[in-house]
Amino acid sequence: MSRGSSLQLSRRTVLAGLAGAAVSGCGGTRSKEVVRFWAFGREGEATAELLEEFHARHPDTEVEIQRLPWISAHEKLLTAYAGETLPDVCQLGNTWVPEFAALDALEPIDEAVRTSGIVEQQDFFEGTFNANRIDSVLYGIPWYVDTRLLYYRTDLLKQAGFDHPPADWAEWSAMMGAIKSLVGPDRYSVLLPLNEFEPLLVLALQQPSELLRDEGRWGNFRSPDFHRTLSFYADIFERGWAPRMSNTQLSNVWDEFGNGLFSFYISGPWNIAEFNKRMPAELKDAWMTAPMPGPEGPGLSSAGGGALVVMKTARNKEGAWKLIEYLSEPQTQQRFYELTGNIPPRRTSWQLPALERSPYARAYYTQLDRLRSPPKVPEWERIVTEMRLASERVVYGRATVDGATVQLDATTDAILEKRRWMMSRGGGKA
């Protein structure tokens, strides 16, 4: 998923985007072949720094980079699609790939990968590639991975009597209970921001059931598996282990983690750098990352992140692919990691001292072998938002787990009505 949902980050990226827009106005000489590239937020900023090397290698190609703020990226892309002003290459959140594939806006790139000497499919973590494949057609090359895992306070966990991170839900519950009785009524065990769907989605993906059934025609939230997930999630709030809070209320997640307002936090890789930078000096070594605990043993996490796609309407597809190949090289990905903290989707790229030696990144390396994609239907973003709202109602005691899941299925089925109509008509082009 994109990170637009978190306000703290988007504020930063909005500023970055604005600054970027100001700079990118000045193009080079017009005699060169131009590749138009759109990237968002920090990624756009960092890519601009990576391009020097690309321009040195391909003096006849000029990359025009347009930086968009995350918060409005999705709208801008759709508007550009409607107005036929899409770029040649674009960064795309994994969850948006099905949508733009349904719009027939993306160029299939299986063939390009097959003949490429640089983009080696075997070298990528499998889950990251699969996230960009719709109905066995490949539309995007993974650029960086955004999966969620556990950040936790080692010192508080130790005080509560545990010297290792949780391995499964049962142990995690035991730890949350112990921490809660340790820290008292004003502090909590875990932060599950109510305005983020990611934590619940990760827990839901850990269960074997599909979230949508019959090739994404109907919701499947009434399944016993999702029922179990939502009950587990709601129980955490019910017992007072998690505060009923959204990110917008916290003002500063990192300070509160340092204050011990919560000891567990489910978040993405960019927070490694943030916590490194923002934790108070005396707590420098008091935190760690761990792979997600699952219902029974190590759990799956969501295959999110960013992909690079070539647009069907691209004027310079060759140049576009050259840029994707360059950005997929292990050396480039390593520099990209150094600049952004975004973790690379290629195994070879992980052979970087900074990555190999970082104890915080190690958990991600383990987690990358256990990824699962959310359902790949264009309506997913809306459905998952409805899922979040349903869970919020349960957490606030406005609905029971049974009532919420039945209603969620009804809403989902209504959202998917058009898709069912399309599939019955066009034989599955959606």
Size of the site for other proteins (CB under 8 A): 33
The nearer residue to other proteins, 49 or 75, going by C-beta atoms, is 75
Q: What character string, x for contact with other proteins (CB under 8 A) and - otherwise, covers 179-198?
A: ---------------xx---
Q: How far is the CB of 366 from other proteins (least distance, A)?
A: 33
Helix (H, G, I), strand (E, B) or coil at 249: helix
Q: How far is the CB of 99 from other proteins (least distance, A)?
A: 7
Residue selected from 245, 283, 288, 406 as contacting other proteins according to rule CB under 8 A: 245
Q: Is 246 in the site for other proteins (CB under 8 A)?
A: yes
Q: How far is the CB of 415 from other proteins (least distance, A)?
A: 8
Distance between CA atoms of residues 66 and 64, nearest Å: 7
Q: How far is the CB of 171 from other proteins (least distance, A)?
A: 30
Residue selected from 228, 244, 347, 362 as contacting other proteins according to rule CB under 8 A: 244
The nearer residue to other proteins, 329 or 392, going by C-beta atoms, is 392
The nearer residue to other proteins, 257 or 350, going by C-beta atoms, is 257
Here the tokens at position 124 are: 């990528």
Q: Is 104 in the site for other proteins (CB under 8 A)?
A: yes
The nearer residue to other proteins, 62 or 196, going by C-beta atoms, is 196
Distance between CA atoms of residues 192 and 349, nearest Å: 31
Distance between CA atoms of residues 105 and 87, nearest Å: 11
Residue type, 196: E
- Which residues, other chains included, contact 316 with Cβ-Cβ below 8 Å and sequence gap of 6+? 33, 34, 35, 36, 88
Q: Is 249 in the site for other proteins (CB under 8 A)?
A: yes
Binding positions for other proteins, 153-172, rule CB under 8 A: none
Helix and strand numbers, DSSP H then E, in the chain: 20, 17
Q: Is 77 in the site for other proteins (CB under 8 A)?
A: no
Q: Is 14 in the site for other proteins (CB under 8 A)?
A: yes
Q: Characterize the bridge pairing of strands 61-68 and 89-93.
A: unpaired
Residue selected from 24, 32, 55, 81 as contacting other proteins according to rule CB under 8 A: 81
Distance between CA atoms of residues 307 and 330, nearest Å: 15
Q: How far is the CB of 236 from other proteins (least distance, A)?
A: 17
Which one of 151-159, 199-207, 244-252, 356-364 is the stretch in contact with other proteins (CB under 8 A)?
244-252
For residue 227, give Cα distances in angstroms to 98, 170, 211, 240, 280.
26, 17, 11, 20, 40
- Which residues, other chains included, contact 389 with Cβ-Cβ below 8 Å and sequence gap of 6+? none
C-beta atoms surrounding 172 within 10 Å: 24
The nearer residue to other proteins, 63 or 394, going by C-beta atoms, is 394
Q: How far is the CB of 82 from other proteins (least distance, A)?
A: 6
Q: How far is the CB of 254 from other proteins (least distance, A)?
A: 15
Q: What character string, x for contact with other proteins (CB under 8 A) and - otherwise, covers 368-407?
A: ----------x--xx------x--xx--x-x---------
Q: Is 102 in the site for other proteins (CB under 8 A)?
A: yes
45-53 — which CB contacts under 8 Å span 24+ positions? Answer: 45/16, 45/19, 45/20, 45/339, 46/336, 46/339, 46/340, 47/327, 47/336, 48/20, 48/23, 48/24, 49/339, 50/327, 50/332, 50/335, 50/336, 50/339, 53/326, 53/332
| 302: alpha, beta or left? (left if phi > 0; alpha if psi -120 to 50) | beta
Q: How far is the CB of 7 from other proteins (least distance, A)?
A: 8
End-to-end alpha carbon distance in the chain: 20
The nearer residue to other proteins, 371 or 401, going by C-beta atoms, is 401
Distance between CA atoms of residues 84 and 272, nearest Å: 38
Q: How far is the CB of 190 from other proteins (least distance, A)?
A: 16
State which H helix or E strand residue 288 sits in: strand 287-290
Binding positions for other proteins, 332-361, rule CB under 8 A: none
Which one of 87-95, 145-153, 169-177, 246-254 is the stretch in contact with other proteins (CB under 8 A)?
246-254
Contact indicator for 333, 344 with CB cutoff of 8 Å: yes
Provide DSSP, 24-50: TT----TTSEEEEEEEEHHHHHHHHHH
Residues forming contacts to other proteins in the complex (CB under 8 A) are: 7, 11, 14, 74-75, 78, 81-82, 99, 102-105, 194-195, 244-246, 248-249, 251, 378, 381-382, 389, 392-393, 396, 398, 418, 421-422, 430
